Amino acid sequence: MSVTHRLTAPAPGWTADTDVVVVGSGVAGLTVALNVRRAGLRALVVTKAMLDDGSTRWAQGGVAAALGEGDTPEQHLTDTLVAGAGLCDEDSVRTLVTEGPDAVRRLIALGADFDRGEDGDVLLTREGGHHRNRIAHAGGDATGAEISRALVEAVRRDPDIELIEHALVLDLLTDAEGHAAGLTLHVMGEGQRDGVGAVRARAVVLATGGMGQVFSATTNPPVSTGDGVALALRAGAEVTDLEFVQFHPTVLWLGPEAEGQQPLVSEAVRGEGAHLVDADGVRFMVGQHELAELAPRDIVAKAITRRMQEHDTDHMYLDGRHFGAEMWQRRFPTILASCRAHGIDPVTEPIPIAPAAHHASGGVRTDNSGRTSVPGLYACGEVACTGVHGANRLASNSLLEGLVFAERIAADLAARHTAGELPERAVDTGAARAAHPVPLPAPEARAEIQRLMSRGTGVLRSAASMAATAEGLALIAGQTRAAVAEEKPADPRVETWEAANLLLVADALVTAAAQREETRGCHWREDFPERDDAHWRRHLITTLTASGGPVSTLEEP
C-alpha cells in the first residue's frame, strides 16, 4: 500500500542505511535494538531528544510480573482481564504474563538494580487492580529511571548500534510493494546529519511512546506528541482503541492554570496505605469498590472527578502523613522531593491531587509479534495496541509490555532474516512524490488543541462535549488550509510538525470516542453511563480516508 499522506517538509538532504531502524529510546525501543543486534542485524535508533529523555524514565511505580511466592501468571492474567473491561486480547495477555517474569530477570541480568529485602529477594508491592504484591521497583519510586539507565548503558556499550539523537520522525518510506523501506526525519542540530534526511532500512519499528501532550495536563514529557500514531495513520496503518486514554488519578495539582507535564504521585503511594480524602478529611473511596483506593485507575479517577464536582473544586487530596518522614524518604524520595519543590510537604500535610492524562491504552494495531497492518512496519510500547490493556491498563503492565513485545519483535525479525524474508528495500520515490502533503498548523495551535481536548474529551465525556471539541479541531484545520490557499503556510519545522501530529491524533481520538456510545473502562460517557456488551464489546479500528480525515469502523463480531 502506498503512502497517501505526508507531512509538508523539505526533500531529504542526507541518507543513512541500516537493517532495522527503531524510533524511540524507551524500554521498548532499546530492548528491540539490543535484541536485534544479538541476532546479527544492524540497528539504528532514532530518538527525539536525548537517549534517556522518553517516558520510561518518568515511570515511578514499577514493573508488574508474577515473581513472588504464591503468585502465578494465571492470577496476573485474571487481574489484567478484569481491568481491561472485556476488551483485552486474552492470547496477548497470556503472552505478557507468562513471558514477563523471565523478561524481567533478563533485564536484571543486563544490570537493572531493583530494590531488594534483607534476604536478597526483589521487593514487591501492590498497586491498583492487583490482588497480589507483584510490582518490582527500583530506587523506591524511580523504577523507570533505573531501567532507562541500564538499557542506555547497554546500548552505548555496543558500538554497532547507531544512534541519532534530537531527531523528529516525519513519515514512512515504502518500496513499490508497499513494504516499509525506511523513514524520513528531521535532526535538530548541526553536523553531518542535520535538517531533513532519510534512513533506508529493511524494517521499521515504532517505539515512540504516547500522545499525552494532546491534553493540557498530562504526566507525559513534552516529546509525547503522538508522532508514531500520526505517522502510522498517514502510512495507511490501522490504529485501534484510541478512545481509551487512562487518566492517572493522583497527579500533583499545581493550580488551575497549570499546563503541560505535571508531577506524578505514584499509585504505589496508595499501595503502601495512603488514603484519598476530600477537603474535610473524609475518605470517599471506601464502599465504592472492594479495593477502595486500590481499585482500577478508571474507577478511582472517576470517583475523584465526581467528588470534585460535588464539592465544586478542582482537586482532592492524598493523605500519607501516617507514613512518617523516614518512610517517605526511603520509599518515595522522588515524590517527596517533587512535592517539596512545589511547596508541599507530604510528611505534614495531605498532597493536593487531580487526574491527568497518563497512558494511551490504544495505538497502532499489532499482532502478537508486533507486526502492524503495513508490511515491514512494527510497533511496541505505548504507541502500539497489542491488546493487553483492553479498555483500561492494569497498573505497571506498561513497562512489562514494552519488554515482552520488544523481545518478540526482535525474535520475529531474526526469524525473517534467517528465512531470507528481509531483503534490502528500494524506496519508491514516485510514491513519496505523489503523496498528498499535509498542511501544517501554526505553532500556537498546540495549546488550543490541548484546551479543546481537556475540556471536551477528558475523564468525563458526552456527545455534546465531544461535538464541541470536534468543531474546534475542524476550525483549526480550516484555518490551516486557508493559510495554505492564501500562500501564507506555516513554515515546516519541529513546532508545526508536532502541531500537525497532535491535530491528527486528537481528531482520530475524538472520532472514536464519539462513536463509542457506552461507558467502558477509562472511556466514561455521561450520556451513556452503562456498559453495553451486546453492541460494544468490540474494537473500533481507525484509518484515514483519501481526503486525510479519520474514520472509525467497528470490527466484525
**What gap in Å lies between CA 500 and CA 299, rounded to an integer?**
33
DSSP H stretches of helix in 385-524: 397-418, 429-434, 445-456, 463-485, 494-515
Of 244, 336, 331, residue with least CA distance to 525: 244
Of 243, 183, 505, 231, residue with least CA distance to 372: 231
Q: Band of the pLDDT at 235, cuts 50, 70, 90?
A: very high
Q: What is the pLDDT of residues 360-400, one digit of tens each?
A: 999 999 999 999 999 999 999 999 999 999 999 998 899 99
Measured torsion, CA atoms of residues 526, 530, 531, 534, in degrees rounded to the nearest 10: -120
Q: Above 80 in pLDDT, residue 557?
A: no
**Helices 445-456 and 494-515: crossing angle, nearest 10°?**
20
Count other C-beta atoms under 10 Å from residue 62's C-beta.
32
Confirm if 204 and 172 have CB atoms less than 8 A apart: yes
pLDDT score for 1: 42
pLDDT score for 277: 96
Confirm if 272 and 414 have CB atoms less than 8 A apart: no
Amino acid 324 reads G
pLDDT score for 436: 87
Q: Above 70 in pLDDT, residue 76?
A: yes
Spell out the SS3 assignment of 350-361: CEEEEEEEEEEC
Q: Band of the pLDDT at 107, cuts 50, 70, 90?
A: very high
Contacts of 180 by beta carbon, 8 Å cutoff, 6+ apart? 172, 173, 174, 201, 203, 204, 374, 375, 376, 377, 425
**What gap in Å lies between CA 222 and CA 53, rounded to an integer?**
10
Contacts of 174 by beta carbon, 8 Å cutoff, 6+ apart? 1, 2, 3, 180, 181, 235, 374, 427, 428, 431
pLDDT score for 44: 97
pLDDT score for 374: 97
**What gap in Å lies between CA 6 and CA 170, rounded to an integer?**
8
pLDDT score for 266: 87
Confirm if 238 and 373 have CB atoms less than 8 A apart: yes
**What gap in Å lies between CA 211 and CA 50, rounded to an integer?**
18
Q: What is the pLDDT of residues 243-289, one digit of tens each?
A: 999 999 999 999 888 888 899 898 889 989 999 999 999 999 998 88
Give the DSSP H/E element, type plus range, for residue 328: helix 325-331
Amino acid 130 reads H
Q: What is the pLDDT of residues 509-524, one digit of tens each?
A: 999 999 999 999 999 9
548 backbone φψ class: left, alpha, beta (φ>0; ψ -120 to 50): left
For residues 311-340, give the mean pLDDT: 95
Amino acid 170 reads L
Confirm if 406 and 456 have CB atoms less than 8 A apart: no
**What gap in Å lies between CA 197 and CA 171, rounded to an integer?**
11
Of 479, 504, 482, 480, residue with least CA distance to 492: 480
Radius of gyration of the chain (CA): 22
| pLDDT above 90 as % of the chain | 82
Residues 380, 384, 387: CA angle, nearest 5 degrees = 105
Give the DSSP H/E element, type plus range, for residue 308: helix 297-311
Q: What is the pLDDT of residues 131-142, one digit of tens each?
A: 999 999 998 778
- DSSP-derived letter for residue 491 is P
pLDDT score for 294: 87
Active site residues: 297
**What gap in Å lies between CA 343 and CA 457, rounded to an integer?**
31
pLDDT score for 434: 78
In terms of C-beta density within 10 A (0-12 exposed, 13-18 middle, 19 or more buried), how is residue 39 classed? middle
**What gap in Å lies between CA 532 and CA 546, rounded to an integer?**
32
pLDDT score for 317: 98
pLDDT score for 299: 87
